[in-house]
Structure 1
Amino acid sequence: MGANHSHGPAAPASRRAVMATLAVLVPLALATVAAMIALWPSPPDTAEPSTLRRETGTITEVTLRRCPKPPPLDGSATAPAPDPATCGDATVKLTSGANLAGTVTLRLPTGPGAQVFAPGDDVILIHDPGAELGEPSYRLSDHDRSSPLWLFGIAFALAVIAFGRWRGLTALLGLVLTFGVLLTFVLPGILDGRPPLLVAIVGSAAIMLTVLFLTHGPSLTTSMAVLGTLSSLVVTGVLSYFSLDLARLTGITDEAAFSLGMSYDIDTQGLLLASIIIGSLGVLDDVTVTQAVTVAELAHANPSYGFRRLYRAAGRVGRAHIASVINTIILAYAGASLPLLLLISVGRDPLGHVLTNPVIAQEIVRSVVGTLGLISAVPITTALSALVARRSLPAAPQPDVHHHHAASR
C-alpha cells in the first residue's frame, strides 16, 4: 500500500505500518463476509402472481366537462373544489400489453392532489383482465417517467465521468455496488426478520470496505479512512441505541412504519436505528476521506511535522469541515420534513408540544446522534492517519554543518 492521494511523489509506506493496517483490515473484512453469510436473507416465498398488469400508453385526446359540486363537510364548510383540468375523460393509445396499439377511453383521476394529464403525455395504466362485466378493465394511474429518468441518469453518469475521468468511473461503480448491497442484503435481510441494527452495520461495513478502496485505490490513506468510518459507525450505533431508549422512541411515526411492524413483524425501533446508520454513512465517508487525505498532504508538504503537529493542523481543517456539514445535515432533514413542519406551523401548537411530538423528536434524535458520530470521525481518522503518516515518511534530512561554515566564510 502506498499513499497515492498526494500530488507529489508518494512517500514509501513503512513495512510496519502496512502490516499493522493489514492486521486490522483483513480480520475486519473476513468478519464482515462471515456476518453477511450468517445474516443473508432466505429466498422469498413464492406468492401467487397478481392478476393486475402494469401497462403503458400515450394520451391522444382529453375531453373536459364541468366538475360536480363538492359535498359539504359540515354545517357550513364545503370540500375544496377539484381542479377543472381533472374532470373529464382521456383517450389513451396502448403502447404495451395484449391490446398493443389499441385505444381506450378512461376517466381522469380527480380529487385533492390529482395529477393533470394532457394530450401527448406518456402514462401508466393498471389493467385487470378479470374485471367484472360493466367494470372498466383499465385505470389511468400515473405519468410514465421512465424516459426522463433515463435521461437524468445518463446526464449524471456523463457529467461524473467527464469531470472525474477514471476516478469518476470508479465512483459510479461504487454507487452500483452500494445499491447492490442495499437491495440484495440490507432490505431483504430486514424484511426477513434479521436484527435491523446488525444488518445495517454489516451492510455498511461491506459498502465501505469495497467502495472506498474501489473509488480511492488501495493505500494507507484509504485504509485509515475505512477504519475511521467503521469506528465512527460503531460510535453512532451505540449512541443511537441508548438515545432511542432514553427518548422512548419506538420508530412508529407514520403509516409505513406501522404497516411494516404489523405485516412483517419487523422491530421498528431497530429499523429506526438502521436508518440512522445508513443515513450517516455517506457523510462519514466524505469526512473521513477528507481527513485522511489532508493528513497525507500535510505530511508530504511538511516532512518535519511530527504526530502532534499533523494532528493539530488536520484537526483545524476537520473542525471547519464539520461546521459546514452540520448545517448541511440540519437543512437536509428540514427539507425532507418540510410538509410536516408546515402542517405543525398551521396548527400553531406551543413549541414545547411540537418538539415532543414523536415525529419531530425522532428527527431531533436522528440529527443529534448523526452529528455526534460525525464529530467523532474527525479525531479518530486524523489520529490514525497522522500515526501512519509519521511511520511512512522518511526522516527529514539534517543540514550539512561543514558546508554551512564553508559558505559563511
Structure 2
Amino acid sequence: MKRALHRELGVILVLALSCAGLFFIPGPNLLATPGGERARARVIRVDNGDLQLHGLLKFGSQKLEVEILGGPHRGQVFRAANELRAQMELDKEFVPGDVAVVTLPPGATVEDSVATAQDHDRSFWLWTLSLGFCVALCIFGNWTGVKALFSFILSCLVIWKAVIPLVLRGWPASWTIFGAVCFLTGAILFLVAGFNRKGVAAFLGAISGVFAGLCLAHWFTVVMKINGAVLPYSQTLFYGGYEFLDLQDIFVGAMILASSGAVMDLAMDIAAGVDEVACHSPRLSARALIASGMRIGRSVVGTMTTTLLLAYSGGYITLLMMFCAQGNPPWEFINNPLVASEAVKTLIGSFSLLLVAPFTALFAGILLCRARQNTAEAPAAPERFPETSQDPSPA
C-alpha cells in the first residue's frame, strides 16, 4: 500500500516538474511592444452621447470615468474611451458598475491622460470556474483526479509554450502538432494505464490512427483546395509579420489536434477491453483477441463519430442557420469555404477514429496474448500441505 502511494506521488511530482519546466520556457517574439500599463478599473460614469445607431448596431465612442483598482494608480479616477465599430463580435458596451480592463498611456496623469477601455474583466469568474473544476476533479477522482488535473495543465502548457512558439518560429505546423500529440498521448495513456502492454497497445493504436488522419488531411486539403485562412485571425497573423506561415499546414495540424482526444479515448477503451478478455480467458489466441477488439471497436466507433459531428457542428451552427434562412439546400452551400473546411475536419476526425479501432485491436491482441500466454505457461509452484504429526505409539 505504501509502495503504491509512493508511486502515485512520484508520478504527480514528475508531472508537476514537467509543467513547471514548460511554464518557464520563453515565448515567441512579440508582434509589437506593448505600450502603456494595463489595469483593472471599475466604471463609475458613462456618457453615450456620441454613439450612433446604424440599423441594429451602434457606432461611435463611449466616454467613461473609471476608478483604477490596482497598481501604482490605484484609487485614481481617469477618463476613458471605448470605441464601437458596429462589429457585434468585437464591440463591448459598458454600464456603471462594470469592471473593465483599461490601458493607461506611459506617464499617465489624471488631468491629461485618457485611458483606453479594452474589454470586460472576466478573470474573476474564469478563475472561480477553474478552481471549482479542479476541486471537483480531485474530490471525485482522488489520486487519479489529481493526475488528470496535472495532465490537463500539461496539455495546455505544451500547446501554449511549445507548439505555438515553434510554429511561429517557422517549424512545420502539422508535424510539430503531430509530435506534440504523440508526447501528450504517451504521457496521458501511460499515466492512466501504467507502463505495461495495455498502455503500449493503446499508444500504438492511437498514434497509428492520428498518423493516418494526418496523411488524409494533407491529401484532401490539397485536392479540395481548402484554404487555411478559414481559421479565425489567421489573416491578421499573416499580415502582422508572420507572412512565412503556411496557413494550410496549420489547418491540417488543427484538424489532428482537435480529434486527438477522441482518438485517445477510443484507443484506451479498446485496449482495456481486450486486456479484460485476455485476463479472464488467458488461453485465447491472438486472432481471437483481435476479433474481440474489433467487436468492441464497432460498438464504440458509432457514438464517437457522432460525438465529433456534434462538437464540430456546434462551432458553425449560425452559419448553417443563415443558409437555412436563405433557403439554400445542402448541395448548394457545401462548396462554401467555411462549410467545406468544417466538413473535411469532421470527416478526417471520423476517419482517424475509424482507423484507430483496428490498429488498437491488432496491437492489443498481439501484445496481450503474449503476456497472458507467458503467464499461463509459467510453471506453477508446487502446492505445499502442512505436515501432520504421527503418533509413534501403537494403536
1:347–1:130 CA distance, 2 compared to 1 (3 A): farther
Alpha-carbon separation, structure 1, partners of 2:120 and 2:53: 26
Does 2:361 align with 1:385?
A: no
User: Which structure 2 residue ranges, 5 or more long, are not aligned?
Assistant: 5-24, 379-395
Helix, strand or coil at the partner of 1:249: coil
Alpha-carbon separation, structure 1, partners of 2:287 and 2:213: 26
Does 2:314 align with 1:335?
A: yes
Deviations 1:65-119 (A, max 9, x none): 6786635xxxxxxx22649xx9975442211233211123445665563445344
Q: What displacement does 1:324 show?
A: 0.7
Equivalent in 204, 229, 236 of residue 181 of structure 2:
204
Alpha-carbon separation, structure 2, partners of 1:319 and 1:220: 22
User: Does the aligned pair in 1 maintain the 2:82–2:118 contact within 8 Å?
Assistant: no
Q: Among the aligned pairs, what percent are the same residue?
A: 23
Deviations 1:278-328 (A, max 9, x none): 112111110001111111111112234332332233322221211111111
Alpha-carbon separation, structure 2, partners of 1:310 and 1:363: 36
Does 2:138 align with 1:164?
A: no
Equivalent in 28, 43, 53 of residue 70 of structure 1:
53
1:211-250 to 2 correspondence within 5 Å? 211-250=188-227
Q: Aligned-pair RMSD on alpha carbons?
A: 3.1
Give TM-score, length-normalised by structure 1. Answer: 0.76
Deviations 1:316-370 (A, max 9, x none): 2221211111111011111111232233334433433310111111111111111
Number of equivalences: 348
Residues 282-291 or 92-101, more deviating: 92-101
Deviations 1:125-153 (A, max 9, x none): 12223789998521222211111111111
What is the aligned partner in structure 1 of residue 171 from structure 2? 194
The letter for the 2-side match of 1:222 is G
Helix, strand or coil at the partner of 2:230: coil
User: Does the aligned pair in 2 maintain the 1:307–1:386 contact within 8 Å?
Assistant: yes
The letter for the 2-side match of 1:389 is L
Q: What displacement does 1:62 show?
A: 3.9
Helix, strand or coil at the partner of 2:39: strand
What is the aligned partner in structure 1 of residue 282 from structure 2? 303
1:306-385 to 2 correspondence within 5 Å? 306-385=285-364
Residues 261-270 or 286-295, more deviating: 261-270
Alpha-carbon separation, structure 1, partners of 2:67 and 2:111: 21
Alpha-carbon separation, structure 1, partners of 2:196 and 2:231: 44
1:254–1:122 CA distance, 2 compared to 1 (3 A): same
Alpha-carbon separation, structure 2, partners of 1:233 and 1:144: 38
Q: What displacement does 1:380 show?
A: 0.7
What is the aligned partner in structure 2 of residue 95 from structure 1? 69
Does 2:56 align with 1:80?
A: yes
1:170-181 to 2 correspondence within 5 Å? 170-181=147-158
Alpha-carbon separation, structure 2, partners of 1:254 and 1:172: 29
Deviations 1:368-409 (A, max 9, x none): 111111111111111111211211113399xxxxxxxxxxxx
1:42–1:126 CA distance, 2 compared to 1 (3 A): closer
Alpha-carbon separation, structure 2, partners of 1:280 and 1:128: 43
What is the aligned partner in structure 2 of residue 53 from structure 1? 37
Helix, strand or coil at the partner of 1:337: helix
What is the aligned partner in structure 2 of residue 395 from structure 1? 376
1:254–1:276 CA distance, 2 compared to 1 (3 A): closer
What is the aligned partner in structure 2 of residue 20 from structure 1? none
1:63–1:322 CA distance, 2 compared to 1 (3 A): same
User: Does the aligned pair in 2 maintain the 1:53–1:126 contact within 8 Å?
Assistant: yes
Alpha-carbon separation, structure 1, partners of 2:137 and 2:27: 36
1:303–1:207 CA distance, 2 compared to 1 (3 A): same
Residues 308-317 or 243-252, more deviating: 308-317
Q: What displacement does 1:168 show?
A: 1.1
The letter for the 2-side match of 1:51 is G
Q: What displacement does 1:164 show?
A: 1.3
1:102–1:148 CA distance, 2 compared to 1 (3 A): same
1:371–1:56 CA distance, 2 compared to 1 (3 A): same
User: Does the aligned pair in 2 maintain the 1:51–1:130 contact within 8 Å?
Assistant: no
Q: What displacement does 1:47 show?
A: 7.1
1:375–1:258 CA distance, 2 compared to 1 (3 A): same
Q: What displacement does 1:246 show?
A: 1.5
User: Does the aligned pair in 1 maintain the 2:45–2:66 contact within 8 Å?
Assistant: no
Alpha-carbon separation, structure 1, partners of 2:331 and 2:108: 52
Equivalent in 92, 100, 122 of residue 99 of structure 2:
122
Residues 359-368 or 333-342, more deviating: 333-342
Does 2:288 align with 1:288?
A: no
What is the aligned partner in structure 1 of residue 78 from structure 2? 104
1:66–1:93 CA distance, 2 compared to 1 (3 A): closer
1:177–1:43 CA distance, 2 compared to 1 (3 A): closer
User: Does the aligned pair in 2 maintain the 1:62–1:88 contact within 8 Å?
Assistant: no
User: Does the aligned pair in 1 maintain the 2:46–2:96 contact within 8 Å?
Assistant: no
